[in-house]
A and B are shown apart, each in its own frame.
Chain A
Amino acid sequence: QKEVEQNSGPLSVPEGAIASLNCTYSDRGSQSFFWYRQYSGKSPELIMFIYSNGDKEDGRFTAQLNKASQYVSLLIRDSQPSDSATYLCAVNVRGTYKYIFGTGTRLKVLA
């Protein structure tokens, strides 16, 4: 059973702080990793994708991938109340276009 695990949270951080969200996966063959943000009652929206080991930065967001340890993380710098949402990690199923989603981490940024 291929799995993607996330801490459900809620993760509470003060405004302006760095929020760190983590995700582990079981399939060593996974090649593509995505972070989505989902507001309550809405569909997910893509924040970042990462394919290679290391860090990838996009504005206030940094994705980190460590294939040897099978984890991918998302850092949000200068967190804002508008960042409060559920963050979903998605990992591809090797050899397919399918993705397995984690259960999501609920982030609360406190003003």
Chain B
Amino acid sequence: GAVVSQHPSRVICKSGTSVKIECRSLDFQATTMFWYRQFPKQSLMLMATSNEGSKATYEQGVEKDKFLINHASLTLSTLTVTSAHPEDSSFYICSAREPRTDGYTFGSGTRLTVV
């Protein structure tokens, strides 16, 4: 089946620094990828839709200048959390639309802790 690889799985960074998370589709081309954030005991909240070769579409309330998304190729999307603060600590998950089913295949997630 379709595989989405996400790195790093865990990252701890200092407040004020930036962190980049990568999401790769390994055996299929993903023109559309999605970035979610999940706080403890809560559901997945869509942050933005990443489209290859064009600007990402951000959900209401998500700061596009803080969460930079780049989808430069059909297999790679990156999310950069800029000037991270402790409240940005969360579980970030990417997913890609799998053409066969129109469903999502999720990456393994990135646990971000900002200290």
Which residues from chain A sit less than 8 Å from chain B, CB to CB? Answer: 32, 34, 36, 41-46, 49, 88, 90, 92, 97-104
Please give the number of chain B residues whose Cβ is less than 8 angstroms from any Cβ of chain A in the complex: 21
CB contacts under 8 Å to A, within B91-115, are: 91, 93, 97, 101-109, 111
Contact A32 B43 (CB under 8 A): no
For B106, give its contact among A41, A45, A92, A98 (CB under 8 Å): A45
Least CB distance, A84 to chain B, in whole angstroms: 15
Contact with A along B1-42 (1 / 0, CB 8 A): 000001000000000000000000000000010100000001
Contact A88 B103 (CB under 8 A): no
Q: B56 near A: Cβ within 8 Å?
A: no
Contact A34 B103 (CB under 8 A): yes
Point out the residues of chain B lying under 8 angstroms from A36, CB to CB: 106
Across the interface, name the chain A residue whose C-beta is closest to B98.
A46
A101 and B102 contact, Cβ closer than 8 Å, known pairs A42-B108, A42-B109: no
How far, in whole Å, are A86 and B39 apart by their CA atoms in the complex? 14
How far, in whole Å, are A43 and B91 apart by their CA atoms in the complex? 9
Contact A103 B42 (CB under 8 A): yes
How far, in whole Å, are A11 and B6 apart by their CA atoms in the complex? 31
Point out the residues of chain B lying under 8 angstroms from A90, CB to CB: 104
Interface centre among B6, B32, B101, B102 (most CB of A within 10 A): B102
For B43, give its contact among A88, A92, A97 (CB under 8 Å): A88
**Contacts A/B (CB < 8 Å), 26 sampled:** A32-B102, A34-B103, A36-B106, A42-B108, A43-B6, A43-B93, A43-B107, A43-B109, A44-B44, A45-B106, A46-B101, A46-B103, A46-B104, A49-B102, A49-B103, A97-B32, A97-B49, A97-B97, A97-B102, A98-B34, A99-B46, A99-B104, A101-B43, A101-B44, A103-B42, A104-B43
